[in-house]
Structure 1
């Protein structure tokens, strides 16, 4: 079995054991529509199996086709799909998740709002495509679709005026209303379940058919808690990971910064990307077994924990005096020669810690992967043409202390200082930059795109406005 690799330009991060998820997708135990216990009627549910998002939309389509059949000549598929589109929109009267009106301006809120909008639009497009194919009508026939009938708990998803007139009119009635409620609710649950994941279209979801929990309703409680935090503007990275674990039915009771479940590994989406442009809060599914037990049971669920749950209490070291410089010479230090990083696991299955390892010359340097992600979430970027922040004291570009990346990485603990501006060059190597983000105390770290005077001036007015400041290029 081969190692899994994330490659960016000519550099890579390697770990675990790669596997092919393809053969598991779509292996369902039975059909979505089957005979109900009540003679003469039929029931619907997502059968046990492994799904991707598009598979779930396809298997929800029989509900919509049944509604159209039961409405007869009055059916208006366009109006029904427009209602779905309005429910999945992030603004408007019928929006179930009105993030556009909440003005979530923090980094987490912005990322999740963009996700919700994009996913909702895609699910609506897929729903329209599947409905136009009339797959359910061809597979089950009009008689079966006309006999589809089950009780659906009311979830208060708003109807458009056109759909309200349709479902409450002479052609509608309680049976078709409940089918439409279930259809809307399942797609709302699906949209929200996918929000944490950057590569949500690829991510596999294992569904076990459970009595009294149709389709995605197994995540109802976790979904309610997720929405409470999101709409209450109290969303955190930990809360996002916790919701992701609930969606993927990992059965984990502890929450870290990522986890392994039966179908792969979930880590922050920034891994393997450029830290300055990568997402800070979204997660990413990887087809890799990060950890296996002694019997090579690759399906074990594990949570990935920070080496120090509270970084405030982590051991610290002073960066030292460095070298006071007036012009940068940015020494090489062989940083360009680092082309690969490795992820190594430590601890037991109850407390798995992942180490980020690079080799620089003849020396190995290791930092906690969780702390790397912390550093990337908390880092600052210079705001060009920015004004000085409250309490900040601008320093001239010519007055700062330069440190070698090798010295910083080789010092124990998280690196900090009491005062001054400190500069470290990664020589444009994002693998080194990741390591430095995991090594520096994550409170006043600023990532530079260039060594221009304008960038340094912007960096002077960026950050907390007090204490030591670390600039990384």
Structure 2
């Protein structure tokens, strides 16, 4: 595998790994005769999330937390695409054409066993009369490298685009340098203790950022990595996945080399952040809903504002509304999205509503004009956004992330479900 000191994508890794598959097919000879079906079928079973030979059996765990559910879906998508690439690339027989049967026939690997089981047909082929320990060593390494590749790409929503640097290590082969970070990540995932910070920490190791500290995103030599929600709809965006961007968010001084930077939250502990009361707003009742979208002036400008200090870097989201500019910590925006609730009908909506002694309506511009995070002692507070995604994202960074519920229509049925969503007590903000 020719990985030494190069930046490589997932598909390019599969191209390199195909050389091992071609070598096995040559060394197996007859009756395999170049047919990779059994070996690839066993790889597919290994990359699946369920079944006896699954290397990451997330299916039986049925993880219901947001992070676990998103990573599970990622594992399915990535595994299916990797096996599709493996079949397509091998069908081209480019490695055979480039190296020839003699060179491929001499390929050997000492692969430490990682317990990757095989389907029965693959066992018969690898350990049959034409196989043996030499073939098994190559195949074990082939499987393990695919597993490492799949797991390395799990944090990234746009995983097909992510480049990561693979260096030549004396003690590691191919992607094995990822094993220590992967072990920590999977322990957290399978133990149902996966946090957004731990996903960022793992992503930093995958792309070789050199960073040890983790915030909610980071910049390194090959680009910027931020939560996947940036530029997406709040209603459909992933909450825990990340997205790689081929840009440098913070430009280096002409006299300095570009250094990797971690993007920190303005309030590392949001519970201790300064808070302000939203105020009474405009008294309202259920009959006044939904609120007309025409009441709202849309923002004219939105941009990211880097604020790099000596020991930390903060990104702020700038929004120009009604003649004034509002800035909000980008990290807090993504934190607000992760803690967001959607209406879920359960329990007694009437009783839940009765526990709150007021119902009021607020303009988004008024909420955003406060400093710190916005909350209230009690009541239900309705905030229309005029259907503007930028305003919605901004509100998620401004409202104290505890009982914020995102509505789609604001009709009676949805409101009744919203009243019993969230914590079920205290003040509640309903954002439409």
8 Å contact from structure 1 (residues 389, 465) kept in 2: no
Partner of 2:422: 463
1:173 offset after TM fit, Å? 1.8
SS class of match (2:20): helix
Question: Residue 335 in 1 paired to residue 294 in 2?
Answer: no
8 Å contact from structure 1 (residues 333, 406) kept in 2: no
Q: After TM superposition, list the pairs within 5 Å mapping 1:420-431 onto structure 2.
A: 420-431=379-390
SS class of match (2:304): strand
Give deviations 1:292-319, integer Å, cap 9, x for gaps: 2222767421110101111111111111
Rounded to whole Å, the distance in 2 between the matches of 1:419 and 1:52 is 51
Partner of 1:232: 191
Q: CA RMSD in A?
A: 2.0
Rounded to whole Å, the distance in 2 between the matches of 1:267 and 1:301 is 14
1:47 offset after TM fit, Å? 2.8
Rounded to whole Å, the distance in 2 between the matches of 1:298 and 1:90 is 42
Rounded to whole Å, the distance in 1 between the matches of 2:226 and 2:350 is 36
Task: Using the TM superposition, name which of 352-361 and 163-172 deviates more.
Answer: 163-172
Question: Residue 454 in 1 paired to residue 416 in 2?
Answer: no
8 Å contact from structure 1 (residues 401, 421) kept in 2: yes
Q: 2:230 pairs with 271, 278, 293, which one?
A: 271
Partner of 2:39: 80
Q: 1:52 pairs with 9, 17, 28, which one?
A: 9
1:77 offset after TM fit, Å? 1.3
Partner of 1:160: 119
SS class of match (2:29): helix
Rounded to whole Å, the distance in 1 between the matches of 2:431 and 2:413 is 15
Distance 1:305 1:52, change over 3 A: same
1:199 offset after TM fit, Å? 0.6
Rounded to whole Å, the distance in 1 between the matches of 2:293 and 2:124 is 73
Q: After TM superposition, list the pairs within 5 Å mapping 1:46-445 onto structure 2.
A: 46-75=3-32, 76-295=35-254, 299-326=258-285, 327-328=288-289, 330=292, 335-336=297-298, 338-348=299-309, 350-383=311-344, 386-388=345-347, 393-395=352-354, 400-445=359-404
Aligned residues: 427
Task: Using the TM superposition, name which of 205-214 and 372-381 deviates more.
Answer: 205-214
Structure 1: which 5+ residue stretches go unaligned? 1-43
Rounded to whole Å, the distance in 2 between the matches of 1:133 and 1:331 is 56
8 Å contact from structure 1 (residues 167, 173) kept in 2: yes
Rounded to whole Å, the distance in 1 between the matches of 2:296 and 2:377 is 29
Distance 1:390 1:425, change over 3 A: closer
SS class of match (1:73): coil
Distance 1:389 1:54, change over 3 A: farther
Give deviations 1:94-122, integer Å, cap 9, x for gaps: 00000001110111111111110111011
TM-score, with normalisation over the residues of structure 2?
0.95
Structure 2: which 5+ residue stretches go unaligned? none
8 Å contact from structure 2 (residues 349, 419) kept in 1: no
Distance 1:143 1:349, change over 3 A: farther
Task: Using the TM superposition, name which of 324-333 and 303-312 deviates more.
Answer: 324-333
1:321 offset after TM fit, Å? 1.5
TM-score, with normalisation over the residues of structure 1?
0.87
SS class of match (1:394): helix
8 Å contact from structure 2 (residues 376, 427) kept in 1: yes
1:394 offset after TM fit, Å? 2.5
Give deviations 1:159-201, integer Å, cap 9, x for gaps: 1111112222221122211111111011000001111111111
Give deviations 1:303-359, integer Å, cap 9, x for gaps: 1010111111111111112121132555856532x2431111113263110001100
Distance 1:196 1:228, change over 3 A: same
8 Å contact from structure 1 (residues 345, 355) kept in 2: yes
SS class of match (2:361): strand
1:360 offset after TM fit, Å? 0.6
Which ranges of 4 or more aligned residues in structure 1 deviate by more than 3 Å? 296-299, 328-334, 389-392, 395-399
